[in-house]
Amino acid sequence: MSDQATEPRRFIFHDLKGRRWPRLRRVLVLWALVVFGATVWFIWSLLVRPELKLPRSLRDMKGQLKAVIKNADVPHDRNALNWQKYYEQSPAAQERLARIQTQIRKPKPQNGEIRLGYYVDWDPNSFASLEEHAASLTHIAPEWFSLVETDSRLVIEPDAKLERFCGARGLAMMPILSNLSGNEWQPEAVENLANGPADKRERVIRKVVNEVLRAKAGGVLVDWEQVDPAYRDSYTDLLEDLAAALHEQNKELWFSVALGDDFSTFDIETMSDFIDRFVAVLHDENSASDEPGPIAGLDWVSGWLTVLGDYGDRDQWIGALGAYAYDWNVTRKRAETISFKDAMSRASYAGVDQSGDKVEVIAPSYNAEFDFNDGEDEHTISFLDAISLHNQLRLVRDAKFAGVGIVRLGTEDPQIWDVLEMRGGATKTNLRALSRLKASDTITHVGRGEVVTVDETRDDGTRVVNLEPNGMLTARYTDFATYPILYHQGAAGDHEVAITFDDGPDPDWTPKILDILKARGVKACFFIVGKNAEDHPRLVQRIVAEGHEIGNHTYYHANLALMSPLRMKLELNMTQRVIESITGCSTTLFRPPYNADSTPTSLAELAPLRLAQDELGYTVVLEKVDPQDWARPGAATIVQRVKELRGDGNIVLLHDAGGDRSQTVEALPKIIDYLETRGDRIVSLSELLNIPRQDLMPPLEQSSAQRVERMVAGTGFRIWHGIVEFFWSFMIVATGLVVLRTLLVAWLAWRHHSRDETGPVLAAPALSIIIAAFNEGKVIARTLQSVIETDYAGDFEIIVVDDGSKDDTAAEVTRVSASEPRVRLLRQANRGKAAALSHGLANARHGMIVFLDADTLFERRTLGELVKPFANPLVGAVSGHARVGNLQTFVSRCQSLEYICGFNLDRRAYTDWNCITVVPGAISAFRKSAIDAAGGFSHDTLAEDTDLTLTLQRLGYRIEYAPDAIAWTEAPATFRALAKQRFRWAFGTMQCLWKHRELVFSSRFPALGWFSLPSVWFFQIGLVALTPLVDAILISSVLFGYAAAIWYYIVIFIVLDIFLATLACWMEGEPLRQAWRIVPMRLAYRPLLAWVIWKSILRALKGALVGWGKLERTGAATVQA
């Protein structure tokens, strides 16, 4: 048994021939090259653009719009004369008939013109226009109040942003009080308020006035439509009350007067006594609910101006002029209000200027109009521009009105602002300026639907502007301006709708959703996140197998707005490759994550879409029906929101991942019910777009060219996946083991601690105390003194072996021994600690040996406690309780804690199962016979104490721990010293583990072989060696937003550490609060330990001889007891 120890051995790990390292190095370099090459290849495969063929039908969007030339006649303005029947009605007109009109109107100051801008909060262009042209405006009319429902409920929707803006820019707000709810006029709300009880009316008026005061508005602009003229007088009363309440607070009441058949609904003449301003709606001669026609024909405008002039004072009037366009879909009989720029883009796309159709602002209507076909439906667009506004403005100013309104901010021809500032007749310069149509960054919209194509082309246009002798301007559009265009497709029929799911697949929710879709026979589109697809390939396969479509939603659900084009390319390509490798087909569908709504409003938002579309070949799918199910508002609310939003669009967005989707799962069948009940057909995107599925998701065979790239990418993903998978399994196993070990150690230690030590007591045996000293002159005397002053009852000798010290160690010892005969000094040339101890041992006279480090101080009872366990004849060695005596530095304080809750707690636990792996050199006691049996100290490792301990274990001795045998030792005070010490420990430990490797999992030593030695292998070497890798993965996880999963592990580790530290401190009677120090300690130790372990591993692999000399401790620090 002892042959291993006695036979002279080469130093463990020492490679005499020096071949191991060069061989190993060659293998390593080769591997590194292969891995590097493979990685580069992989990344390259991701950067190669997947060959996506955007279906032609989507690409050729320009081809779909065609100009249509209808008969070249100027459109008949059938409403142009409808003002005439009101012309003779007014009392004023009656008067005029009675006598020659000689009324003198006071001239209005030219510069006092009111400029009322109509504003909406739902169109960002409205605010942009307001910001830009605030200086040209005096009043702002925002949507604010509405009277709704039969019970005349007053809904107030304040707009804080506008309040602030108007306040800052000195603009008077005239919030609109309408009877509009959504898109529906609610006449009963007004009628019943006018006819209803007085208290109700007072309440509403008070609310309005209070809100006006709160918002610091200038008053209210009443806009009531479709109300019954039968109650004319009641309205007058109601408005009079409202006016009185407002006037009392110095606020104004303005009133919007609709022209046409509703003109006589209100008693304008009477109302002119208390209404501060009438706003004549000089537009919507033909509106969205009418057949196509001029929006504000000049004859119509001028006729109505004539009528209006007879009511009230002229300077009570404001003429609200249109600055927008209508796009009538003649085929489907519906119309859309669009901006001037939208009209330009549509005309330009349809090639109206190339078609020979004349688009002109000329007499009689001075409203331009053109027709086109969008591939399915016929459209007529009538638009108002700066030219038409110029002409109307002239009439309004001639009529001596107090000012004009612009309906509305955000839809206007930008040049109306120049026109507004033109005084007198238009000059040549004016005409030239007006003829240039300048493109801008405003995004315009063409088509309908939520599948969009971006066209950032911008192009100036031209209109030929002429001044007619009557002062009116005419224009002919020869070249339409083009603005950045979002071309919309996929509106399909009124009853086709698609359901889409973002962010999946998810193992919990996607299958549930697929089950529902399957049961209901509904096909959907899943915009998947590459990462999730890679994690759950089976789900992706199932999605495709069940007939659903798949779209790309980036790899990490990344925000495109915040990323470089390269990253975006990587995100999309990685996802594409994942989809390809799982499904065997590509996808051309893409939806950007974090798409708050489906309408990008700035060029910046357009850029990533264009990149996806033009460079990567994707079709961008947005959505308008977004019930925000991800926020978990409740299933009922999700359904309700779908109901409310369904009218706005036909692509529904839901989520099948990213959290608890139980509400979505609950809502989905109800959403399907609702859609089907309302008569919708739920279709796939390919059906919605009328494009074959294989065009949207082309099978891979079609593009065999990229087989290699796909294979590389696929393999790369699988390997990466494997690594990540392994990492997670490892984390889980490691955590489990740590928990197990911690609990076991805690339990054993606690059991040991609470056991009553009443074993047989040995009469104090004679002891030989051996101290190896190397340059310990400063401390040796005190060390000796601490031993000499012991309470120990028995006889003992102290042998100091001076291992060739160069200082006054020997002298110090001699000085002590002079007065203390029990102290002996042996001297030898420097041969290392093991040799010194052997030397001392050889000269020991007694059968019990105590080893003591030269810088370690005993307490009085230490010796007695230390030898107590020898009462048991099977005990071969006893470990004392070493504690850190120098607490001056952070490093040593850390070690103090480490000794308390690491080494000592472990020993306490191990002793019970007799599996202590190391009896520390600082304080230990041995039977001389045991050491002899072990063959003395070996010289082939750096950790002679561990080696000896393990040898004794092999021989069947018990190794005990004596917690009350306390010795205060000196710990390295700096990181450098600590690292040096730990390297020696680590290397020594590895040597011992290697030397005694057959003990591991040996059935003869169950506790040692299955518990304490594997613990050292796994926790002190394996786990520590892996920390850099683990940390790297942790950091990357945090960077890629997967921190949440990591936190569990971190928290578990910290809690365990603190728990164990607290337990240890409690057992040792240390203040519990220092247990917290374990946290910074771990942080500091982590890299240090990893470094020494790797250094040790490298040394071991290199097989170099690790010498004693340079690793010998310096041992000069002061030690405090």
Partner 1 sequence: MKTLAFTKWRTAARGAVALAIACGLAACDAGPSQNPKADFRNQKLALPSQGVYAGAYIDFGEKEDDVTLEGIEKFEQMVGKHQAIVASSSYWGEGSFPDANVRLISRHGSVPLIFWSPWDKPYVEGRGPDRFSLTSIIAGEHDAYIDRWADGARDFGGPIIVSFANEMNGSWFPWSGLHYGGENEIPGATPKAYEGPETFKKAWRHVVDRVRARGAANVQWVLHLMDYSMPQEEWNLAAQYYPGSDYCDWLGISLYGSQFPSDAEWAPFLPLFDWPYTELTQLDPSKPIMLCEWGVGELPHLGSKADWIRDGFRIMKDPKYSRLKAIVFWHERWQNSEGDDAGKYSNLRVNSSPESLAAYREGVADPFFLGEPILRPAK
Nearer residue to partner 1 within complex by CB, 335 or 1092:
335
Nearer residue to partner 1 within complex by CB, 560 or 672:
672
Tell me if residue 798 falls in helix, strand or coil.
Answer: strand
Beta strands of 472-569 (E only): which ranges? 473-479, 485-489, 496-502, 525-528, 549-552
Nearer residue to partner 1 within complex by CB, 557 or 641:
641
Question: Least distance from C-beta 592 to partner 1, angstroms?
Answer: 30
Please count the other Cβ atoms lying within 10 Å of the Cβ belonging to residue 34.
Answer: 10
Question: How many secondary structure helices (H) and strands (E) does the chain include?
Answer: 41, 39
Q: Which of 655, 752, 839, 939 is catalytic?
A: 655
Question: Least distance from C-beta 337 to partner 1, angstroms?
Answer: 9
Question: Least distance from C-beta 435 to partner 1, angstroms?
Answer: 31
The C-alpha atoms of residue 620 and residue 448 are separated, in whole angstroms, by 14
**Is residue 1007 exposed (0-12), middle (13-18) or buried (19+ Cβ within 10 Å)?**
middle
Residue in 710, 706, 719 with CA at minimum distance from that of residue 578: 710
Which chain residues interact with partner 1 by CB under 8 A?
Answer: 149-151, 187-188, 191-192, 195-196, 225-226, 228-230, 258, 260-262, 264-265, 281, 284, 287-290, 495, 519-520, 643, 647, 669, 673-674, 676-679
500 residue type, one letter: T
Question: Least distance from C-beta 229 to partner 1, angstroms?
Answer: 5
Please count the other Cβ atoms lying within 10 Å of the Cβ belonging to residue 81.
Answer: 13
Q: What would the two tokens of residue 379 be?
A: 């459209």
Question: Least distance from C-beta 125 to partner 1, angstroms?
Answer: 19
Nearer residue to partner 1 within complex by CB, 128 or 330:
330
Residue in 626, 644, 679 with CA at minimum distance from that of residue 183: 644
Under 8 Å between Cβ of 712 and 41:
yes
**DSSP sequence for 340-376:** HHHHHHHHHHHTTTTTT---EE-TTT--EEEEEE-SS
Query: Considering all CA atoms of the chain, what is the largest pairwise distance in Å, rounded to the nearest integer?
Result: 148
The C-alpha atoms of residue 1097 and residue 1016 are separated, in whole angstroms, by 15
Question: Least distance from C-beta 677 to partner 1, angstroms?
Answer: 4
Nearer residue to partner 1 within complex by CB, 384 or 1090:
384
Question: Least distance from C-beta 284 to partner 1, angstroms?
Answer: 5
To the query of whether residue 488 is one of the catalytic residues in this protein, the response is no
Nearer residue to partner 1 within complex by CB, 643 or 721:
643
H or E stretch including 336? strand 334-338
To the query of whether residue 655 is one of the catalytic residues in this protein, the response is yes
Cα–Cα distances (Å) from 668 to 18, 499, 500, 652, 676, in that order, read 70, 10, 11, 11, 12
Nearer residue to partner 1 within complex by CB, 196 or 658:
196
**What does the buried/exposed string (b/e) look like for 474-508 if buried means 16 or more CB atoms within 10 Å of the residue's CB?**
bbbbebbbbbbbbbbbbbbeeebbbbbbbbbbbee
Question: Least distance from C-beta 290 to partner 1, angstroms?
Answer: 7
Nearer residue to partner 1 within complex by CB, 671 or 1067:
671
What are φ and ψ of residue 401, in 5° steps?
A: -70, 160
Kindly list the strands in the beta sheet with 325-329, ordered across the sheet, starting from the edge strand earlier in the chain: 66-68, 368-373, 378-383, 325-329, 334-338
Question: Least distance from C-beta 306 to partner 1, angstroms?
Answer: 20
Nearer residue to partner 1 within complex by CB, 90 or 265:
265
Under 8 Å between Cβ of 579 and 533:
yes
H or E stretch including 156? strand 153-156
The C-alpha atoms of residue 849 and residue 62 are separated, in whole angstroms, by 99
Q: Which of 502, 680, 855, 906 is catalytic?
A: 502
Nearer residue to partner 1 within complex by CB, 207 or 678:
678
Question: Least distance from C-beta 127 to partner 1, angstroms?
Answer: 22
Which residues are tagged catalytic?
502, 655
